[in-house]
């Protein structure tokens, strides 16, 4: 047996135990620094009483022990539950109806529903809620019309029913898109086999289509429930005015509306929400995986056949148009109307005569509004530009199962359990307790938002990397390239379209957000969504409307670009 010399002539020979690469370590550290402090401060705040300046005082478990016995908490919880179930149901029913009409019938002009969904992505939630309050408020045109038709019946929008209605409507576009892609992905063979077995179209729909779609619908229902549970805009704008508190607004009230801020209470509520949402997300993951089992695997199937409605297809188109009008058209119209008024008033003949462009002039001209628009564009661009490359790298390392990369995946996805308002509160705690004065700056909002949108970037990047066959990278390393060169020259170019699409998606999400930046903005860092909220609180409806319309116009363009790119890349929206 010959003895081989240890100093081998081939450079690069090393022991094969894979050590954690430097890249993974660096990325993990960055993520730890970004994700852990908010969580830590939140936990700390929930078990300490706080001083006037926000620093921590004494350790106490009082906030938690007080939770279960506090009537406020239980009422909040009950309200949140009813509100979530109600709005999730409305969102699913209308969204599914649209999806079925568009994907499974031959209703003419049905593709217009996608245009509606595109426009809705451009509308900030705040604006949407305000629109509905204008329509259904005490002096709103719909309320008046309804009163006329029913002889005096008035609907109080500032009620839990009103909250359910508005939030439910806001879910419809996304639910429509998601159900659409589910319906599109089912293999037609399942239904064709049913019809070849003698079942007519109606029987096939009940016994096959619906049954097989049920897991997907349930997953969507759960997702809507989770979103409603953590939503803030509707409860803040509608609920508080009607004296209805949900968990998220309770947190906000404790952090902002009382003096001194009761971070302890806010923290306790937040921790409860975090735990609850984590459990819900776990079940959502399981349900979603179960739903995937029912999708077509071979990919060779025909597109599902459309139901020929005959003369009824115009009725279907009418129904679709009605839903779209209610969900998107009507709110936009009232905002347009309001933006052209010198001061807000009821919708009547006289008000039409008063149309003016002065609100638009105010917004476009130099000043506070213009600065706000610019800030928001900077925010969106910065957040997207930070999140996308970072998550692309993390996702690649995680998908290729590099040692330790699973931690990157977990850390980057962790922010998902934080409702935006809680994330805002948590970062508020962090920034206030830091020695540098970054609280209130645009930079601080960018940082907090970037952390908040890491999960979205990860999901997008994850599925993007999964689509790149390992063969392509292995061919690169077999040709002599290092891991870094392979990532730069093979993976990045292949991910490019996915990353561009993700960039636009994160951009759109970041600029719509209100609850996350709400507690973090300061004088120099005003943002569109937060300003719209403030304007509403101040009663400046007309300026709000003009700013909103301009913003919707700009974002529709971005949204259209996103849709075109995403369709090219053939990826579902979420």
Partner 1 sequence: MLIVDQLVKRYLSETGEAKGGISGISFDVKEGELFTLLGPSGCGKTTTLRSIAGLERPDDGVIRLGNDILFDGARELQVPMYQRDIGMVFQSYAIWPHMDVFDNVAYPLRFRRKTNLTRSDMERRVLRALEMVGLAEYRNRSATRLSGGQQQRLALARALVREPKLLLLDEPLSNLDALLREQMRSEIKRLQMEWGVTTIYVTHDQSEAMALSDRVAVLNNSALVQVGSPVEIYDRPTSAFVANFIGRTNLLRGKVARDIVAGREGEIQSPLGRFHCQFAAPARAGREITFAIRPENIALSPAGTVPSDQPNRITGTVQNRVFLGEIMEYTVVVPSEERLIVRLHPSACHTDGDLVDLVLKPGYLIAVSD
Could you tell me if 241 and 233 are in contact, meaning their C-beta atoms sit under 8 angstroms apart?
Answer: no
| DSSP category for residue 320 | H
Query: CB of 46: closest distance to partner 1 in angstroms?
Result: 44
Query: CB of 202: closest distance to partner 1 in angstroms?
Result: 10
Q: Which is nearer to partner 1, 193 or 475 (CB)?
A: 193
Q: Which is nearer to partner 1, 196 or 478 (CB)?
A: 196
Query: CB of 328: closest distance to partner 1 in angstroms?
Result: 31
Residue 477 CB partners (closer than 8 Å, separation 6+):
483, 486
Distance between CA 437 and CA 238 in Å, rounded?
A: 34
Query: CB of 284: closest distance to partner 1 in angstroms?
Result: 20
Query: CB of 294: closest distance to partner 1 in angstroms?
Result: 5
Assign 3-class secondary structure to 263-283: HHHHHHHHHHHHHHHHHHHHH
User: Would you state the structure tokens that stand for residue 549, as one six-digit string?
Assistant: 């319309």
Q: Which is nearer to partner 1, 203 or 315 (CB)?
A: 203
Q: Which is nearer to partner 1, 204 or 441 (CB)?
A: 204
Could you tell me if 544 and 462 are in contact, meaning their C-beta atoms sit under 8 angstroms apart?
Answer: no
Residues β-bridged to residue 440: 521
Residue 172 CB partners (closer than 8 Å, separation 6+):
90, 91, 94, 95, 98, 120, 323, 327
Distance between CA 179 and CA 574 in Å, rounded?
A: 11
Query: CB of 214: closest distance to partner 1 in angstroms?
Result: 8
Q: Which is nearer to partner 1, 194 or 563 (CB)?
A: 194
Query: CB of 196: closest distance to partner 1 in angstroms?
Result: 4
Query: CB of 65: closest distance to partner 1 in angstroms?
Result: 47
Phi, psi of 48 (to 5 degrees): -130, 150
Could you tell me if 318 and 249 are in contact, meaning their C-beta atoms sit under 8 angstroms apart?
Answer: no
Q: Which is nearer to partner 1, 199 or 561 (CB)?
A: 199
Q: Which is nearer to partner 1, 204 or 515 (CB)?
A: 204
Q: Which is nearer to partner 1, 1 or 202 (CB)?
A: 202
**Footprint on this chain of partner 1 (rule: CB under 8 A):** 187, 189-190, 192-201, 203-204, 207-208, 211-212, 214, 293-294, 296, 298, 300-301
Look at the alpha carbons of 253, 256, 261, 267 in this order and tell me if their dihedral is positive or negative: positive
Other CB atoms closer than 10 Å to residue 169's CB: what's the count?
24
Q: Which is nearer to partner 1, 212 or 364 (CB)?
A: 212
Q: Which is nearer to partner 1, 147 or 214 (CB)?
A: 214
Query: CB of 381: closest distance to partner 1 in angstroms?
Result: 37
Rounded to the nearest 5 percent, the helix, strand and coil shares of the chain are 75, 0, 25
Distance between CA 411 and CA 25 in Å, rounded?
A: 13
Query: CB of 136: closest distance to partner 1 in angstroms?
Result: 41
Nearest CA to 429 among 513, 519, 510, 523?
Answer: 519
For helices 112-121 and 71-104, angle between their N-to-C axes, nearest 10 degrees: 150
- Report the relative pairing of strands 48-50 and 56-59 from DSSP bridges: antiparallel
């Amino acid at each position: 047996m010959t003895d081989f010399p240890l100093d081998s002539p081939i450079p690069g020979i090393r022991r094969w135990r894979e050590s954690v690469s430097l890249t993974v370590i660096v990325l993990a550290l960055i993520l730890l620094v970004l994700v852990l402090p908010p969580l830590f401060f939140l936990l700390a705040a929930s078990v300490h009483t706080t001083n006037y300046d926000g620093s921590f005082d004494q350790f106490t478990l009082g906030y938690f022990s007080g939770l279960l016995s506090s009537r406020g908490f239980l009422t909040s919880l009950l309200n949140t539950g009813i509100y979530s179930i109600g709005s999730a149901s409305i969102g699913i029913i209308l969204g599914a109806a649209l999806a079925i009409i568009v994907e499974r019938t031959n209703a003419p002009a049905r593709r217009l529903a996608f245009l509606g969904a595109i426009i809705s992505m451009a509308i900030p939630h705040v604006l949407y809620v305000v629109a509905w309050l204008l329509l259904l408020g005490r002096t709103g045109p719909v309320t008046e019309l309804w009163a006329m038709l029913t002889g005096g019946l008035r609907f109080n929008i500032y009620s839990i029913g009103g909250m359910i209605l508005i939030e439910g409507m806001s879910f419809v576009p996304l639910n429509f898109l998601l159900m659409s892609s589910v319906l599109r992905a089912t293999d037609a063979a399942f239904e064709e086999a049913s019809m070849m077995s003698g079942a007519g179209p109606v029987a096939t729909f009940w016994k096959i289509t619906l049954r097989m779609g049920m897991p997907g619908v349930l997953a969507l229902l759960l997702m809507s429930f989770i979103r409603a549970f953590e939503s803030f805009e509707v409860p803040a704008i509608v609920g508080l005015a009607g004296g209805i508190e949900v968990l998220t607004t309770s947190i906000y009230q404790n952090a902002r509306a009382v003096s001194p801020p009761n971070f302890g209470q806010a923290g306790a509520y937040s921790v409860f929400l975090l735990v609850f949402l984590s459990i819900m997300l776990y079940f959502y993951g399981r349900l979603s995986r179960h739903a995937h089992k029912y999708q077509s695997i071979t990919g060779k199937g025909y597109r599902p056949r459309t139901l020929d409605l005959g003369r009824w297809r115009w009725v279907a188109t009418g129904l679709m148009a009605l839903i779209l009008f209610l969900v998107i058209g009507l709110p936009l119209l009232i905002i347009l109307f309001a933006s052209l008024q010198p001061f807000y008033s009821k919708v009547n003949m006289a008000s039409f005569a008063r149309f003016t462009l002065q609100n638009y002039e105010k917004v476009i001209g130099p000043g506070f509004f213009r600065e706000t628009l610019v800030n928001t564009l900077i925010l969106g661009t910065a957040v997207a530009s930070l999140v996308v490359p970072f998550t692309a790298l993390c996702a690649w390392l995680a998908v290729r199962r590099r040692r330790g990369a699973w931690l990157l995946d977990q850390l980057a996805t962790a922010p998902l359990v934080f409702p935006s308002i809680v994330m805002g509160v948590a970062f508020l705690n962090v920034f206030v307790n830091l020695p540098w004065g970054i609280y209130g700056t645009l930079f601080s909002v960018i940082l907090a938002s970037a952390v908040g949108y890491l999960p979205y970037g990860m999901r997008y990047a994850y599925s993007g990397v999964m689509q790149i066959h390992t063969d392509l990278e292995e061919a690169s390393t077999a040709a002599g390239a290092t891991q870094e060169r392979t990532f730069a020259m093979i993976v990045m170019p292949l991910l490019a379209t996915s990353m561009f699409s993700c960039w636009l998606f994160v951009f759109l999400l970041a600029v719509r957000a209100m609850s996350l930046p709400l507690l973090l903005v300061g004088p120099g860092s005003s943002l569109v969504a937060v300003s719209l909220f403030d304007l509403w609180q101040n009663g400046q409806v007309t300026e709000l409307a003009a700013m909103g319309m301009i913003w919707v116009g700009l974002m529709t363009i971005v949204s259209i670009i996103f849709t075109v790119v995403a369709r090219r890349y053939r990826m579902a929206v979420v």
